[in-house]
Amino acid sequence: MTGGFADIQRTLVPLWRSLSSLNEDEQTIVVVPSFSIWLPPEIAPLLPAYEERYLFLLFLLRQPRARMIYVTSMPVPEAVVEYYLGLLPGVIPSHARSRLQLLSAGDPAVIPLTKKILDRPKLLEEIRALAGDPSRAHIVPFITSELEQTLVEELGIPMYGADPRLTPLGTKSGSRKLFAESGVVHPLGYEGLYSIEDVVAAIEKMRSEREIESVIVKLNEGVSGLGNAIVDVPAGGDVAAHVRTMRLVEGTYEGFVELLATQGGIVEERITGDEIRSPSVQLRGTPLGELEVLSTHDQLLGGPDGQVYFGCRFPADAAYAASITRDAVAIGRRLIDLGVIGRFAIDFVVVRNGDTWRTYAIELNLRKGGTTHPYLTLQFLTDGRYDAEQATFRAPNGTAKFFIATDHADNPAYATLSIDDVFDVIVRNGMHFDLARQTGVVLHMLSALPHGRIGLTAVADSHDDAHALYERAKAVLDEAASPR
C-alpha cells in the first residue's frame, strides 16, 4: 500500500491544473475499463469487446508527451490498435504507438478486470513501473467501486472518477432520492424495495394517489434497461396477480425476485403520452469542483416494451434539450456539493401531449456509459465543442456535426467476418472516417464479431445524413456477411 485513498485523490488537483493549462507536461493515463457492476448473463461473452469499447481514448495520444497504459482481460488485436492510431489527426502513428503500452491479464473469466489486476502482483507491479512518476499519472476507470479504490491505493495513482462511497447515488433508489433533493420532476414511485410484497404495496399506494395504468419495476443495479420489468395495473385488478405476471426484459421471474432481494429496487409510473422519447444529458465534475455540461443525446431504445438501450442520436432534439439540461444542471450541482468528480449522465423521459414536452428525470449513471465513447470520439477527432444553449455541436470551422451510434449492430452472420473483412467493406464503400471532411464511420467493439455484433458511430453534417450513413453501413456489412 502506498497511501490513503483520500490523500492520493487530492494529488489529482495539481495534475488537473497542469493538464488544463494546455502546456506539454508529461502525463500517463492508465485506462482500466473494468465492469465492477452486475452484468446480465447474455453480456458475459461480450466482456472483452466492452472493455475495448473505450479504445477511443487512444485518441488522447494526440498530445505528444502523453503516454497511455491500456489494460484488458484479453489481448487487443494489433489490427484494432492500428485502426485507432491511424485515425489520429496530426500525429505519426508509430510515434503514438511507442507511447502506448497494452497489458492483459490473460483471463477471460467474467469477473471485474480490476480484480484480475489486483490478483496478479506481477501485473500490478508492471503497471506501477510503466506509470512512472505518480504525480504525473492518473487512472481512468469505467466505473468506481471498492476494487478501484484498492487499485488507487496499491498504485499510489489517483483516479478520475467518483469516490466509491458515493456509489449508492447511482442506483435506481439513490437516483430518485437525489432528484427529490434537487427539486427535479421525476415519475411517481417508491424506492428501497426488496421483495415482491414491497412492490405490491408500493403499487397499491401509487394507485391510491393517482389513476395509473402501467408501472416499471427496476433493479437498483440494472444497466441499459436490463433489470427492468413492466407491470400493467388496470383499474380494479388484483395488483399481486399482475405483479406475478410482470413482463421481464430478460431472465426469469424467480431470478428477478432473487436479485430484488439482494440489490433492492424501485417501482415508478410508466409515463405515457402522444409521443415518448428518452434523452440524456452528459456532464462532468472536475477535481477543481467545477460542473461542466458536455452533451445531450436521444437514446435509441428497443427490445421488449422499448426498455433496452441500443444506441444514441446526437445531439438531442432542440425542442427539449434546454429543458433537460436545466434539470441536469440542478442535479449536477447537488453532486458537486457531495464531492463527485468524473463523467456522469442523467437519463430522462420526455413526453409530448399536443405541442408541449414534459420532462421527467429517471436515472443517474455515475459512470461512463453508452453515450460516452461516441461523443468523445467525435470531440477528439474534430476538436469541436457542444454549445449547451444552442444544443449544437460545431467543428472549429463552424460546421455542425451529428451522429448516430450503436453498440448493437447485430447480425448472426457477422461471425463469418474477420476484422480485416470489416475494414475492407467500410473502405471499399467510401465510409471510412475522413479526417478532412470530418465525416464517416468509426467502428468499435470489433472483438464482438464472433458473437454477431459490432459497434459503429456514423458522423455527418446533419441528422438525416448521419442516419443515412448509418443505414448504409449496416446494409453493406449485412451484404458482406450474407451467404453466397
For residue 234, what are the contacts with CB-CB under 8 A and spacing of at least 6? 213, 242
Question: With contact defined as beta carbons under 8 Å apart, do 53 and 373 qualify?
Answer: yes
Question: With contact defined as beta carbons under 8 Å apart, do 170 and 179 qualify?
Answer: no
| 53 shares a domain with 76 | yes
| 282 shares a domain with 225 | no
In a domain, 66, yes or no: yes
Long-range contacts of 142-146, Cβ-Cβ distance < 8 Å, separation of 24 or more: 142/32, 142/33, 142/34, 142/35, 142/54, 142/367, 142/368, 143/34, 143/35, 143/36, 143/37, 143/366, 143/367, 143/368, 144/36, 144/342, 144/366, 144/367, 145/36, 145/37, 145/112, 145/114
In a domain, 178, yes or no: no
In a domain, 43, yes or no: yes
In a domain, 175, yes or no: no
Q: Are strands 27-32 and 66-72 parallel, antiparallel or unpaired?
A: parallel
From residue 408, alpha-carbon distances to 20, 89, 309 in Å are 35, 27, 9
| 239 shares a domain with 211 | yes
* Nearest partner of 243 among 272, 222, 265, judged by Cα: 265
| 413 shares a domain with 387 | yes
In a domain, 166, yes or no: no
Question: With contact defined as beta carbons under 8 Å apart, do 113 and 34 qualify?
Answer: yes
What residues of the chain score a pLDDT lower than 70?
1-3, 20-24, 37-41, 225, 305, 484
Q: Count other C-beta atoms under 10 Å from residue 412's C-beta.
A: 10
| 346 shares a domain with 248 | no
Enumerate the β-bridge partners of residue 56.
none
Total domains in the chain come to: 3
Q: Which of 115, 143, 161 delimits the end of a domain?
A: 161
Q: Which of 269, 291, 311 delimits the end of a domain?
A: 269
In a domain, 181, yes or no: no
| 238 shares a domain with 336 | no
| 325 shares a domain with 220 | no
| 281 shares a domain with 252 | no
| 469 shares a domain with 323 | yes
For 433-463, the pLDDT digits (tens) are 999 999 999 999 999 999 999 999 999 999 9
Residue whose C-alpha cell reads 467525435 in the numeric block: 378
Q: What is the pLDDT of residue 20?
A: 63
Looking at residue 25, which CATH number applies to its domain? 3.40.50
Q: What is the pLDDT of residue 1?
A: 45
| 265 shares a domain with 211 | yes
Looking at residue 465, which CATH number applies to its domain? 3.30.470.20
For 6-31, the pLDDT digits (tens) are 999 999 999 988 876 545 678 999 99
Q: What is the pLDDT of residue 137?
A: 95
In a domain, 387, yes or no: yes
Looking at residue 239, which CATH number applies to its domain? 3.30.1490
Q: What is the pLDDT of residue 310?
A: 85
| 427 shares a domain with 288 | yes
In a domain, 177, yes or no: no
* Full DSSP string of 448-479: GGGGTEEEEEEEESSHHHHHHHHHHHHHHHHH
Indicate the average pLDDT of the chain. 92
**How far is the C-alpha of 264 from the C-alpha of 266, rounded, in Å?**
7
| 283 shares a domain with 263 | no
pTM: 0.91
Q: Which of 269, 287, 309 delimits the end of a domain?
A: 269
For 320-364, the pLDDT digits (tens) are 999 999 999 999 999 999 999 999 999 999 999 888 999 999 999
* Full DSSP string of 29-43: EEEE----S---GGG
- The distance in angstroms from the start CA to the end CA of the chain is 59
Residue ranges making up the domain that contains 103: 5-161
